[in-house]
Amino acid sequence: MSSSSPSSEAPSLTPSAVAALLARCASRAAAAATHGRLLRCSRAFFSSPYLANCLAAAYSRLGAAHSAVALLRHAPVRLNVFSHNILLAALISSRLLEGARKLFDGMPHRDAVSYNSIISGYIAGSRPG
């Protein structure tokens, strides 16, 4: 009979494990459920810009731009260029170009991803359909 304790067998909820879980979310409902579970487990989750960005990216990837924007606007973390680029991508993929431009203009730091995203958004927005 094994004498190992249950805690040694329980999977660890590391930032990389949470990021992998969020990357595998296949629906908005799954992302929202994961978000809720993380909040119930620990509000300290959102002290990590990395994890807040991963959750916002999951919402963005699943077409929930408004959830991504709300999450990062209300998360008690300092937004960084990655956060802004996630929001930019979410707004552009939802064809909210005016909001994307407003965000882009207000970004304290922009990188090549920021510029490519806004240019691609305008190009895609000029095409029909």
Report, as an integer, the average pLDDT of 22-47: 81
Nearest residue to 111 (alpha-carbon basis) of 84, 73, 78: 84
Alpha carbons 50 and 77: distance in angstroms, whole number:
9
Task: State pTM to two decimals.
Answer: 0.78
Sorting pLDDT into bands at 50, 70 and 90, what band is 12? low
**Is the pLDDT confidence value at 60 over 80?**
yes
Q: Is the pLDDT of residue 39 over 90?
A: no
Query: Of 19-33, 34-48, 61-75, which gets the smallest average pLDDT?
Result: 34-48
